[in-house]
Amino acid sequence: MKKAEIGIIGGSGLYAMPGLTDVREEKVTTPFGEPSDALVLGELEGRRVAFLARHGRGHRLLPSELNFRANIYAMKMLGVERILSVSAVGSLKEEHKPTDFVMPDQFIDRTFARNATFFGDGIVGHVAFGNPVCAAVAATLQKACDAVGVVGKSGGTYVCMEGPQFSTRAESNLYRSWGADVIGMTNLQEAKLAREAEICYATMAMVTDYDCWREGHDDVTVDQIVAVMHQNSANAAKVVRAAVAAMSAEKSCTCGDALKYAIMTDRKAIPEHTRQKLGLLLDKYF
Ligand SMILES: [Zn+2]
């Protein structure tokens, strides 16, 4: 029996999910270690959901310290088939203003210190990643933005950087020259692992500021930044709730078959302990 069908990963500003009922916490241990925190299970709009605070409650973990594998595997263990991921980002384009939400459909990887695959340890797999987010879930998020009166933009490129420091101005301008839309520190590894776990995944990127490229506009006050963050987290909760309510029961995408042609290793050559460890992902193909 599935404990949850929809997963919600909350980032900076969204540390709990308002409106959850029938709430209980579950500490999940995965073959890849511990997730960022206990998962909060409950009901939202009549659907079973699992909420995870990406950085742990109290915001204790750096982006580079996150155990992305455990976070996504824990969702899989609970039965989650779709993940809505919420994260704070900087804008790389004038048109993406603070308090706008962007649903990126592409990523650029600028990280270098993260483990972002369930494979290895005797098994090689290569999933297709040309379309890194689930278009159906992203569209549901975008429509939910419209429904609750939040500016929600469909598509865009998310630069995922290592952090924890923000970009230099040269880097920020480089990413702008690449045509990227927003910059953050966490969502790409989640997207990769969700794909390997055959879970639909889409990101809602909440713009908090203009990164550092927009010279001559640095006169924003701390009060203004705090106000934007408060508004974003309130809006995110509303949008996620509307998206959960609107999520179709049937899936029209191919995310659930991502491993069908991905595994390269001869079945007989896969070590038993690896086969066991990944049973949740592989059993259907063996
Ligand atoms: Zn999908």
**pLDDT digits over 19-40, tens only?**
999 999 999 999 999 999 999 9
Q: Identify the H or E element spanning 205.
A: strand 200-209
Cβ pair 239, 153 in contact under 8 A = no
Cβ pair 191, 203 in contact under 8 A = yes
Q: What is the pLDDT of residue 14?
A: 87
Helix axes of 68-78 and 187-196: crossing angle, nearest 10 degrees: 40
* Residue where the block lists tokens 């987290």: 233
DSSP state string for 119-151 = --SS--B----SS-S-HHHHHHHHHHHHHHT--
- Say how many Å lie between the CA of residue 121 and the centre of ligand 1: 27
Asked whether residue 32 is domain-assigned, the answer is yes
Q: Which of 211, 218, 223, 266 is catalytic?
A: 211
* Helix, strand counts (H, E) of the chain: 7, 11
- Say how many Å lie between the CA of residue 194 and the centre of ligand 1: 10
- Indicate the pTM of the whole model: 0.96
Q: Is 211 a known active-site residue?
A: yes
- Say how many Å lie between the CA of residue 179 and the centre of ligand 1: 26
- Say how many Å lie between the CA of residue 128 and the centre of ligand 1: 13
Q: What is the pLDDT of residue 35?
A: 98
Q: Which of 109, 209, 223, 257 is catalytic?
A: 209
Q: Which two tokens stand for residue 281?
A: 């992902």
* Domain interval for residue 177: 6-282
Q: Three-state DSSP class for 76?
A: helix
Amino acid at the residue 163 = G
Asked whether residue 178 is domain-assigned, the answer is yes
Asked whether residue 214 is domain-assigned, the answer is yes
Domain count, the chain: 1
Give me the tens of pLDDT residue by residue for the chain, a chain 286 residues long. 689 999 999 988 888 899 999 999 999 999 999 999 999 999 999 999 999 999 999 999 999 999 999 999 999 999 999 999 999 999 999 999 999 999 999 999 999 999 999 999 999 999 999 999 999 999 999 999 999 999 999 999 999 999 999 999 999 999 999 999 999 999 999 999 999 999 999 999 999 999 899 877 666 677 888 899 999 999 999 999 999 999 998 999 999 999 999 999 999 999 999 999 999 999 999 8
Asked whether residue 1 is domain-assigned, the answer is no
Question: Residues near 63 by Cβ (< 8 Å), separated by ≥ 6?
Answer: 162, 163, 164, 185, 186
Query: Which is nearest to 103 in space by CA: 80, 72, 136?
Result: 136
Q: Is 223 a known active-site residue?
A: no
- What's 205's domain CATH number? 3.40.50.1580
CA angle 107–66–260, rounded 5-degree value: 55
Cβ pair 199, 81 in contact under 8 A = yes
